Amino acid sequence: MKMNNCSRLMTLWFVISVALCFNTRNSVSASKQCNFPAIFNFGDSNSDTGGLSAAFGQPGPPQGMSYFHHPAGRYCDGRLIVDFIAKKLGLPYLNAFLDSVGSNYSHGANFATAGSTIRPQNTTLHQSGGFSPFSLDVQFNQFSDFQRRTQFFRNKGGVYKTLLPKPEYFSQALYTFDIGQNDLASGYFHNMSTDQVRAYVPDVLDQFKNVIKYVYNHGGRSFWIHNTGPVGCLPYIMDLHPVKRSLVDKAGCATPYNEVAKFFNRELKKVVVQLRKELPLAAITYVDVYAVKYSLISHPKKHGEPFVSGFEEPLRACCGHGGKYNYNLHMGCGGKIKHGGKEILVAKPCKDPSVWVNWDGVHYTQAANKRVLEQIVDGAFSDPPIPLNMACHRNL
């Protein structure tokens, strides 16, 4: 009996110790949460919440069908990764800086526009094959102007105080970046080889590095940087720039284009390491979204909603018309033809976008975006391995 009582006491002590340790760890984790009051986002269509549409016109239905139930400035059936980031941090969805109607910037602003590149393209939107004139340097200039004018107008009081961020938010905010994919794609659209595209990557990343420094000099301290995704798995790349069968991997993706994307990401990671040395007060998190997106495509049954069935048709567009990948450059998602005096929808969406990875041949579905966020939010794909809500810390 004495031994039994002793064993019980030891067991009870162990349980209490574990509980105390767990609670202490939770309280420490809670104390380290950053409580970001705002997000300032820079990027391309992967995170554009209405910038390009404000400048050049709203993309029509069926964009936004799965969540907003109407076009909402996003090239997606619903929400983007940046939307889920905002939701996870308890912040409202970001309004585009260029969208002057009904916008509220009290918790940040989005400078991303679809088709944007890091390096300026020096052509018009139509001449460059759909690449935006709002390159990353332009987005920074917009941010700089926004920051300066925000402080000026908030001093006037009234409605400005409710629609614009507090001055201290600029140093307390999370700065998110998701850009670079179009820098690679633009080379292919100009008939460059993968070697030629690879050759200009260092110059692209030098310009990216400069912009991070500019933001830092304007008070930015917490940076959440996505690498670029598997370009060689996108229907529009595989349709417009086919490769030999021997250069297609087991997932069905074009290996040469993915190799360039991986090279870009390795070099981007080196730039992040350099920036950490040069910007001593910055917390810079590098996020490997390439790995997550490639997993959605190469192992679709392990992901998706519901998780039991997983994703379907990972290499075909949900919304499009014709061809192996359901993609047609001349008949994009929502495309119509005139017949007998009537407009007929030809490029229709699939019945259930929630089980598809790709939305329109270029962009991911809301379901895929949500799954990406779920995978990266806890820091499992980050360097350093820091969760999203603790990204104001250099280390934990």
Q: Name every residue whose Cβ is closer than 8 Å to that of residue 93 and which is 6 or more positions away in sequence.
A: 49, 79, 83, 86, 87
Q: Do 180 and 268 contact (CB within 8 A), yes or no?
A: yes
Task: Yes or no: say if 265 and 257 are a contact pair by the CB < 8 Å rule.
Answer: no
Helix, coil or strand: residue 315:
strand
CA distances from 144 to 147, 219, 323, 357 (A): 5, 11, 44, 36
Q: What is the DSSP letter of 281?
A: T
* C-alpha to C-alpha distance for 71 and 368, rounded to whole angstroms: 19
Output 187-195 pairs: Cβ under 8 A, ≥24 positions apart. 188/237, 188/240, 188/241, 188/257, 189/128, 189/129, 189/131, 189/240, 194/256, 194/257, 194/259, 194/260
Distance of CA 33 to the CA centre of its chain: 22
Active site positions, annotated: 45, 360, 363
Give me the residues paired with residue 176 across strands: 41, 224
d(CA 160, CA 162): 5
Cβ of 199: how many Cβ atoms within 10 Å? 12
Give the strand pairing for 336-339 and 342-345.
antiparallel
Q: How far apart are CA 76 and CA 312, in angstroms?
A: 17
Torsions phi, psi for 262 (to 5 deg)? -70, -35
DSSP secondary structure, 82-125, as one string = HHHHHHHTT-PPPPBTT--SS---TTEEE---TT--SS---S-T
Residues 213, 170: Cα–Cα separation, whole Å: 15
